[in-house]
């Protein structure tokens, strides 16, 4: 049986959902109708560090906001698949891995809610979630971070992988 450390050593690509993973799931609504989210700077740092170390970082999310896109561009995340219906996340994911010839055994995906289930339940993906993910998601994940979504869960998995590979 493969240990979690051995799985971490195989990872070359991180793919994250946004709301509930890179944010705490809160969406702040302004009178103008604009919505904004808050990201955790430690997660941002880990993403930047992973990219500099040669890992791929992708986003698959139904969320679609200019602020998110600006933040991702500033963080140098280029593989961004946002704005489709939440029930189409699997299609966006499959399109991404096909387009870039990615091996699922080298992918760590982190999601937190039912729309992530079709990806997280794929047998070769290293499925992960924050500690506050819904029960149905926690039950299918290979690794449940001790950190909350939007409060270090992304950093936790990036750090775990990079430490296992001697790159942290």
Task: Write the pLDDT tens digit of every residue in 117-157.
Answer: 999 999 999 999 999 999 999 999 999 999 999 999 999 99
The per-residue pLDDT for 29 is 86
- Per-residue pLDDT band for 1 (boundaries 50, 70, 90) equals low
Ranking 27-31, 101-105, 117-121, 163-167 by mean pLDDT, the lowest is 27-31
CB-CB neighbours of 100 under 10 Å: 11
Q: Is residue 28 pLDDT above 90, yes or no?
A: no
Q: Taking a C-beta distance cutoff of 8 angstroms, is the pair 141, 120 a contact?
A: yes
Say if residue 23's pLDDT is above 90: yes
Query: How many residues does the structure list for the chain?
Result: 168
Per-residue pLDDT tens over the stretch 60-74: 998 887 888 899 999
Comparing 84 with 160, the larger pLDDT belongs to 160
pTM: 0.95
Residue 47 makes CB contacts below 8 A (sequence gap 6+) with 14, 57, 75, 77, 154, 158
User: pLDDT, tens digit, for every residue of 73-103?
Assistant: 999 999 999 887 777 899 999 999 999 999 9
């Amino acid at each position: 049986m493969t240990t979690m450390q051995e799985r971490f050593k195989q990872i070359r690509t991180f793919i994250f959902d946004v709301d509930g993973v890179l944010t705490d799931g809160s969406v702040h609504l302004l009178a103008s109708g604009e919505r904004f989210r808050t990201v955790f700077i430690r997660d941002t740092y880990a993403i930047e560090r992973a990219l500099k170390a040669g890992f791929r970082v992708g986003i698959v999310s139904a969320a679609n906001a200019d602020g998110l896109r600006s933040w991702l561009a500033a963080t140098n995340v280029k593989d961004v698949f946002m704005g489709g219906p939440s029930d189409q996340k699997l299609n966006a994911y499959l399109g991404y891995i096909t387009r870039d010839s990615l091996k699922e055994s080298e992918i760590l995906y982190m999601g937190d809610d039912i729309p992530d289930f079709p990806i997280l339940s794929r047998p070769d993906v290293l499925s992960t979630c924050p500690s506050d993910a819904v029960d149905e998601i926690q039950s299918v994940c290979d690794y449940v971070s001790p950190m909350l979504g939007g409060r270090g869960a992304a950093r936790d998995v990036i750090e775990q992988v990079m430490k296992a590979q001697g790159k942290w």
